Amino acid sequence: MRITIHRGIDQIGGCIAEICTEKSKVLIDLGHNLPQGDELVEDKMDNPATIEALCEGCDAIFYTHYHSDHVALFHHVPDTVPQYIGPLAKQVMAIQLNHLVHIPGEQEQRQADVARLKSFRTFEAAKPVLVGEDIRITPYFVSHSAADAYMFLIEADDRRVLHTGDFRGHGYLSKGLLPTLRKYIVPQGVDVLICEGTMLNREEKNIVHENDLKIKAVELMRRYKNVFVLCSSTDMDRLATFHAANKQMRCRPFVCDNYQKDLLNLFTETAGKKSPLYAFDHKVYGVERHNEKLYDWMLKEGFTMLVRTSDKYRRWVESLLPQLNPDETVLVYSMFRGYILPAHTAYNPKTKAFVERFPNFEYLHTSGHATTDTLAEVCRTVNPSTAIIPIHREKDSDFASLEIGDELRSRVTTTSQTVDGIEIVVK
């Protein structure tokens, strides 16, 4: 078996991993480098020729979830290579791409992306998929800031590799993480653990559970009548947090544009059938078209409005704010703080300018990634016999700094080497 980390060993995002035998080959994720601020960074892999070469001899590509730093290069993949993703994740991507079709100058590419996405295959949690002649991949659900995210157990050549994807231990659905590992993964052992390490160098160490965020959101909504929320449009957990908090206000509408409402409807029709938390059916209204009755209701009773930083929302905010009492109005910022910190590499001046339009500001966020304690617990639980390969981490972060004991620390591998018959290649 050969494990190749094409990208991700020393950067967050843009992850690409390859696992192959003499007979078969599979890729895990095919992501674009993360943007810096409001600009895309150069990505040498973002071209058809490079991806075609990478996919030579590839039997399948499996995506852990739909975030662009894991899936965005999918449109360069040759038609002959099957691509797999979770069923809900595929539907989320379809809504996203159809929304982007309307962007001037991008229609042709986006239409091609929509058509390409239709050919994606889907998998079921805990149901193995046979790839090529001798690779078996079994997806297991994990909690992340993207709905329908998975880790993968890859079995081949009498070896077992666990690729965690992005995950966390403080989401609404995180309680199944360790039980899943103990029931399905640990009993037969793991040779190599490929594990994300996003939070290793992050300063935001005060990570709270998503439910605690909901409690704080209720407190804010009781203090402020008019609540604008800036959060990811596809983070089902975060959307559920603010929707559940708004329900406790009883009389206030929960408003958004039609794109966001399409996503909420999708979550309701899928995850909402399994848990009422994801049933976005309480006073949810689209405000794409002017509705005088809804508008009067918002001014009288207050509201919770999901916003984004687009020009459309800027115009809506500029027309609405003068009619609201500044002391009763707040923007709740529920995204990575680095986007609004000028000294940070992720700083986005457009986001900062949007935030500064509001009379009051509250930061209410928790990460979509595992804390250092959770990372350590996963490493200790899985206890791989051969290697721990950290990915999705900053270059100067040290996975060996985790509380995992000397034996596991000695197995942390960030350079090319052959260990116990497994060839590890780090590009």
Q: How much is the pLDDT for 55?
A: 97
DSSP 33: P
Rounded to two decimals, what is the model's pTM? 0.95
CATH of domain 2-202+368-426: 3.60.15.10
**Nearest-CA neighbor of 336 among 296, 368, 371, 360?**
368
Pinpoint the residues of the chain covered by CATH 3.40.50.10710: 210-363
Distance CA 158, CA 161 (A): 10
Paired sense of beta strands 329-334 and 361-363, if any:
parallel
Q: Which amino acid is at 225?
A: K
Q: Which residues contact 383 (CB under 8 A, 6 or more apart)?
A: 186, 190, 408
**Nearest-CA neighbor of 166 among 97, 235, 243, 267?**
235
CA angle 407, 411, 415 (to 5 degrees): 155
167 near 382, Cβ under 8 Å? no
Distance CA 347, CA 339 (A): 4
230 near 314, Cβ under 8 Å? no
Q: What are phi and psi of 333, to 5 degrees?
A: -95, 115
Strands ordered across the beta sheet of 159-163: 129-131, 135-142, 149-156, 159-163, 192-196, 387-391
**Nearest-CA neighbor of 97 among 124, 122, 84, 116?**
116
CATH of domain 210-363: 3.40.50.10710
Q: How much is the pLDDT for 39?
A: 64
Q: How much is the pLDDT for 108?
A: 83
Q: How much is the pLDDT for 355?
A: 96
List of the chain residues with pLDDT < 70: 37-40, 203-206, 289
Pinpoint the residues of the chain covered by CATH 3.60.15.10: 2-202+368-426
The Cβ of residue 347 has, within 10 Å, a number of other Cβ atoms equal to 16
Q: How much is the pLDDT for 35?
A: 80
Span 338-388, pLDDT tens digits = 999 999 888 999 999 999 999 999 999 999 999 999 999 999 999 999 999
